[in-house]
């Protein structure tokens, strides 16, 4: 993609975010969206044919499920000697945590449902906030004052790649599942690096992961 095309793509995403939110995105949100839009930040992993047993280029979701390493460092290393081993990480998806609010760890609150009829699809702002500035676990201000549960329900440009939803799911998994492969602090650091640098590097010298690849990795840890 040319620089002009990247600039146009970045402008389109920023304009969409501004139109949806009704205001100019915050500096952290603007920087984060820009990194996602241009794809110019951290393309060092793009030349690898497969990240840990399939990745984006391994023939689809079924393939990268085959090499379900549970830690970011092991997954991004691409140790293909384990490629045929289906390893269960025990993780649960954003959909699970949306549908099972009563199973959230007691330290983190999903909040109150806005409607008492049927299954809840919209929550009030009385749950645990996503960002530290509002009392939550994560840095930055990308999602404003939204709660963790509200972030799980975001769609489209409000949550590129559904990264926020997957970060929340991974955090809740790490907080409730023994031997999940990540601790809550690992997930917090994952978000911090993406928010401040535009990429995630599990350890010094390890390959860098884009936001999209982080989502693929987190999906790889889900059993349901």
Percent of the chain clearing pLDDT 70 (strictly above): 64
In the predicted structure, residue 46 carries a pLDDT above the cut 70: no
pLDDT at 43: 30
Hey, CA dihedral for 81, 87, 89, 92, is it positive or negative? positive
Mean pLDDT of the chain: 76
Burial class (CB in 10 A: 0-12, 13-18, 19+), 164: buried
In the predicted structure, residue 86 carries a pLDDT above the cut 90: no
Which among 31-45, 56-70, 171-185 has the top mean pLDDT?
171-185
Phi-psi region at 135: left, alpha or beta (left = phi > 0; alpha = psi -120 to 50): left
Q: Which residue has the tokens 């920087």?
A: 31
- Digit-coded pLDDT (tens) for 130-189: 999 999 999 999 999 999 999 999 999 999 999 999 999 999 999 999 989 999 999 999
- Digit-coded pLDDT (tens) for 97-139: 999 999 999 999 999 999 877 689 999 999 999 999 999 999 9
Tell me the domain boundaries of the chain. 41-224
What length does the chain have?
A: 224
Q: Which residue has the tokens 């007691």?
A: 106
In the predicted structure, residue 47 carries a pLDDT above the cut 80: no
């Amino acid at each position: 993609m040319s620089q002009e095309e990247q600039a146009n793509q970045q402008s389109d995403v920023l304009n969409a975010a501004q139109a949806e939110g009704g205001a100019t995105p915050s500096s952290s949100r603007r920087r984060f969206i820009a990194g996602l839009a241009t794809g110019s930040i951290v393309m060092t992993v793009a030349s690898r044919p497969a990240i840990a047993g399939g990745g984006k280029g391994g023939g689809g979701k079924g393939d990268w499920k085959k090499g379900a390493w549970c830690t970011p460092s092991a997954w991004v290393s691409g140790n293909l000697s384990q490629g045929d081993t289906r390893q269960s990480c025990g993780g649960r998806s954003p959909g699970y945590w949306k549908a099972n609010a009563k199973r959230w760890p007691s330290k983190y609150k999903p909040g109150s449902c806005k409607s008492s009829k049927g299954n809840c699809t919209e929550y009030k702002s009385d749950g645990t906030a996503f960002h530290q500035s509002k009392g939550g676990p994560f840095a930055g201000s990308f999602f404003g004052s939204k709660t963790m549960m509200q972030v799980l329900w975001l769609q489209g440009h409000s949550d590129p790649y559904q990264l926020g939803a997957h970060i929340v799911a991974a955090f809740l998994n790490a907080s409730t599942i023994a031997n999940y492969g990540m601790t809550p602090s690992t997930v917090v650091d994952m978000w911090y690096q993406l928010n401040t640098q535009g990429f995630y590097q599990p350890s010094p010298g390890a390959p860098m992961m884009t936001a999209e690849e982080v989502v693929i990795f987190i999906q790889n840890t889900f059993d349901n």
